[in-house]
Chain A
Amino acid sequence: MHGRLKVKTTAEQAEEKRKHREKKLKLFQGAKAAAFKKITAKEYDREGLHITQEILTANSDYYTIWNYRKNTFLHYKSTKSTEELLESFQAELSFIQNCLKNNPKSYSCWNHRCFVLLTMPEPDWKKELQLCNLFLQYDERNFHCWDYRRFVVQHSAVLPGDEINFTHKLIENNFSNYSSWHHRSKLLPIQCPDLNDPNRIGEKMLLEELELVQNAFFTDPNDQSAWFYHRWLLGRGETKQSITCLHVSKPDSRLTCTLRKRVSLAQCSSMKVYVNGQQQNVTWTGVDDQKYQHACIASLLKSNSLWDTTRCQLSLHPR
């Protein structure tokens, strides 16, 4: 239960609410009993759709009831004409839209819409994209709708460039739209890739993007969205592996190194140790029994070989 303010009510109001709820509950429980009868009997028909519609209108999170409707539509697919089928599916789409208006964050509602689109003949993806535009107008941060949008984009021929333009419009309207910035972070590396790193953006686009994001935080320096995105653009988003410290112990014939990112002992074996330019055979151990470690110890197999060392090197060979 989210965002429901507790209000002080008079005894009279409370009684009225109780009566109203009692009535509503009676109808709901009646519909529920009838629906579960249909489910148990595997009776997939018009009447069942009607009864379950009542339940879902009252509570669109009732996923078992949506599942009954899925089964009904699968049954229809093998029994109804294309025309009848299209009509039923169209009715279902508008019913789902009504449910979403009441409960735009219902997982099972959005999921059922995906099912319908994937099951119906001739799905109209363009219309679905418009539905996404509409629901993002109501709430530009609704992640259920954003996810549905990505599903629609994936199943229709929407170009990354068009999606980038869409996010641009949203950001111009309101810089504080983390969802849009996030969407851009996925699209730009596809549209304008950096040839050296597939997860990053090419130089020209990167400069344009920097200007956009700087405008955002000059306008509103307290908004977090642009700052997170800025950090990513600057390439500090990803920590790269590096050796932070190397300690050589001559008496013990061993090297201890610390690394920026944790490694497993198996990964350690790809690091090469050179003493006076000669590669050495070493065994690696961790500093404790954790599977991945920030520090590891290399013991030289030939003892005392470090005594006349003038130069010791450790080289990373990341896979």
Chain B
Amino acid sequence: QGTIVKDVTLKEDAPKNFLMSKHIEYIANYGANKEDYEYCMTEYLRLSGIYWGLTAVDLMHCRDRMNENEIVEFVVSCQKDCGGFGPAPDHDPSILYTLSAIQVLCMLDKVEKIDVEKAVDFIGGLQNEDGSFSGDEWGEVDTRFSFCAVTALSLVGRLWENCPINVAKTVEFILSCMNFDGGFGCRPGSESHSGQIYCCVGALSVLGELHHVDDDLLGWWLCERQLPSGGLNGRPEKMPDVCYSWWLSSLAMLGKLHWIDGSKLKQFILASQDDEIGGIADRPGDMVDPFHTLFGIAGLSLLGETCLKPINPVYCMPQDVLDRIGVKAQILP
């Protein structure tokens, strides 16, 4: 039997312009009501939420709309005795929120407010014998955590000097997750997924080891993620989603961003905006959230939207922040 193409059709009346001021209001007001249902239910990822919001408004040149002192104070309160960060003060530490904390403080130029040494120890302590990383003390292994470790350490200047991890083993483990299609999965044997590919290619880029990637094979797989609507899916025969507009930044790292139709992708992202309350959803007509708002905006920046700050394809942070702290990642010509 034939399979139906999983895709959406963009409506005639879908937004076609970038609604910047609406998005700024949406993000700046998100969490203003601490009793809001959605806000309370997402406490388990709060610190990442702050990173999404702050990055989004910074890309829109409006970082001053956020209460910086309140953010710094909150981030500091999330650091645990072990050095790792939880998403909120009472929650358990995880490498995911440790990266978010470091990213947020780098953007605000306030890294000195936390105990960096202890955070570095926490990250180093999560590496396993085979080079993989656990997310926390309970030992779940995932290449997302390899990405977190490598990028977080590089942001605090500890990847090349006084490095607490075995870099060669880190690379070896990531490569053991490579698949027949040139992509990467969570663990050895796992299916390729463009979010996971972003993490693995990103980590290799930070480590200057991109030559291990079969860029033509992987580039083909990645550019085939684009659907007739212009949106991208994360795996073959799946629905498009705005957040994949960002995961495709691995194509940018491989120097192949022109392998997809940028203007059609832009149309898809713009059509997923909410023209009433601002923000961007996973696809046109759905409910918006800060996660998709950031990754939609980040995608537009990557595609060269001139009203936004340029974004770094590996760190998903404004390029000017990385220039200030002197962090570079490998981008293939």
Q: Which residues of A contact B (CB under 8 A)?
A: 1-6, 21-22, 24-25, 28-29, 36, 39-40, 58-59, 61-64, 67, 70, 107, 111, 114-115, 141, 143, 146-147, 150, 174-176, 178-179, 182-183, 185-186, 219-220, 222-225, 228-229, 232, 237-239, 261-264, 290-292
Provide 9 A-B residue pairs closer than 8 Å at the C-beta atoms, listed in order of the A residue: A1-B281, A1-B292, A5-B286, A6-B281, A107-B140, A143-B191, A182-B180, A182-B192, A183-B191
Known: A111-B140, A239-B216. Is A147-B291 also a contact (CB below 8 A)? Answer: no
Q: Is the CB of B37 within 8 A of A21?
A: yes
- Give the chain A neighbours of B166 by CB distance below 8 A: none
Q: Is the CB of A64 within 8 A of B91?
A: yes
Known: A59-B41, A185-B179, A261-B211. Is A1-B282 also a contact (CB below 8 A)? Answer: yes
The CA of A179 and the CA of B179, in the complex, are separated in Å by: 12
List 18 additional A-B contacts (Cβ < 8 Å) besides A64-B44, A147-B187, A228-B221: A3-B286, A28-B40, A64-B90, A64-B92, A107-B140, A143-B193, A146-B190, A147-B189, A150-B190, A178-B236, A182-B192, A183-B191, A185-B179, A186-B189, A222-B2, A229-B180, A239-B216, A264-B211
The CA of A59 and the CA of B42, in the complex, are separated in Å by: 9
- Give the chain A neighbours of B224 by CB distance below 8 A: 224
Q: Is the CB of A185 within 8 A of B180?
A: yes
A135 to chain B minimum Cβ distance, whole angstroms, is: 15
- Give the chain A neighbours of B37 by CB distance below 8 A: 21-22, 24-25
B278 to chain A minimum Cβ distance, whole angstroms, is: 13
| Of the residues A28, A61, A239, A262, contact of B217 by C-beta under 8 Å | A239
- Give the chain A neighbours of B285 by CB distance below 8 A: 5-6
Residue of chain A at shortest CB distance from B5: A222
- With an 8 A cutoff between CB atoms, is B69 at the interface? no
- With an 8 A cutoff between CB atoms, is B210 at the interface? yes
Give the interface SS of chain A, mostly helix, strand, loop or mixed: helix
- Give the chain B neighbours of A2 by CB distance below 8 A: 241, 282
The CA of A291 and the CA of B171, in the complex, are separated in Å by: 15
Q: Is the CB of A141 within 8 A of B235?
A: yes
The CA of A211 and the CA of B2, in the complex, are separated in Å by: 18
Q: Binary interface profile of B, 264-290, with partner A (CB < 8 Å = 1, else 0)?
A: 000000000010000001110111110
- With an 8 A cutoff between CB atoms, is B125 at the interface? no
The CA of A111 and the CA of B237, in the complex, are separated in Å by: 26
B2 to chain A minimum Cβ distance, whole angstroms, is: 5
- Give the chain B neighbours of A238 by CB distance below 8 A: 214, 217
- Give the chain A neighbours of B288 by CB distance below 8 A: 6
Residue of chain B at shortest CB distance from A17: B37
Residue of chain B at shortest CB distance from A173: B1
Interface residues of B in 82-98 (CB under 8 A from A): 86, 90-92, 94
Q: Binary interface profile of B, 178-190, with partner A (CB < 8 Å = 1, else 0)?
A: 0111100111011
